[in-house]
Amino acid sequence: MPGKRLKPKKAVNPSADAKRPIVVVGVGHMGGAIARGLVAAGWGPRLILIDPAIKSTDARAFTKSGAAVEADAAAMDGLTPEAIVLAVKPQLMRTVAPAYAAAARKALIISIAAGTPIESLNLWLGEPRAIIRAMPNLPASIGKGISAAYATPGTTAAQRKLAGTLLAAIGDVVWLDGEELLNAVTAVSGSGPAYVFLLVEALAAAAERQGLSADIAKRLARKTIEGAGALLAVTPMDPATLRQSVTSPGGTTEAALKVLMGDGRLETMLKEAVDAATARGFELAKTR
């Protein structure tokens, strides 16, 4: 549902130019997470959120923060955005991006479309000076994500700082030296939550085979992974030290780890999985 046209006001957490809006194109799962994170950080009055299919309840919540919610790029007529976050689905980028080519000449472009190379973005956007490709992951939806980002040479230090600030609204940020490394990032942290969810499923199934009820098995598996992740987040110890602290010589954990770690079993499976996901990332880039 269209909202009010933006009249930029000073944000609580402004960047160098507090009069220029921040535009988020696509307010789905990841774009919506970014928008909510930015609202929570005080950027609401500077936001233009563009999505023709945004839910009315989400639109109302965003407009209450001072953000403008619009249906298409026409909302930016007469405005010069400081940054445009392209958060549409990769398969739609070819169709959506050209509408922002004029604004891209003076704005920082941040694309979070997986498998969409800068070469393609340059083609659709008329070769803007500054582009940053970023790969956030699913935990960004609760502000616990991590984004890896690569900036083109034309991106200024100030623009890179701005991108880091915007992405920090959904979690940690790391910077890469080469665009090609984003495929490895996608395979590790982008796809990684799925590997963890599969581990929960497999652990619950194994528990059931030992005679536990389905309900108890699922609860034990889920809480074990949740707790281990929470511990990892707050302790200074590295994962190997934590693993060793649970492993008593000759005990049950050691018996299990001999199966998982014997002949590099688990390590080999994960290596092959990440290799396959990385290769697929390069394949997808060739089609976009």
Fold of 192-285: ProC C-terminal domain-like fold (1.10.3730)
| d(C-alpha 110, C-alpha 133), whole Å | 6
- Number of CB atoms found within 10 A of residue 184's CB: 18
Q: Domain-by-domain residue ranges, the chain?
A: 22-186, 192-285
- Check if 22-186 and 192-285 are the same fold: no
Q: Please state which architecture CATH assigns to domain 22-186.
A: 3-Layer(aba) Sandwich (3.40)
Residue 248 burial by CB count (10 A; 0-12/13-18/19+): exposed, middle or buried?
A: exposed
The CA-to-CA distance between both ends of the chain, in Å, stands at: 30
| d(C-alpha 15, C-alpha 181), whole Å | 28
| d(C-alpha 76, C-alpha 70), whole Å | 9
Residue pair 135/112 in contact by the 8 Å Cβ criterion:
yes
- pLDDT tens track of the chain, all 288 residues? 444 333 333 334 444 456 799 999 999 999 999 999 999 999 999 999 999 999 999 999 999 999 999 999 998 888 899 999 999 999 999 999 999 999 999 999 999 998 899 999 999 999 999 999 999 999 999 999 999 999 999 999 999 999 999 999 999 999 999 999 999 999 999 999 999 999 999 999 999 999 999 999 999 999 999 999 999 999 999 999 999 999 999 999 999 999 999 999 999 999 999 999 999 999 888 887
Tokens describing residue 84: 């445009």
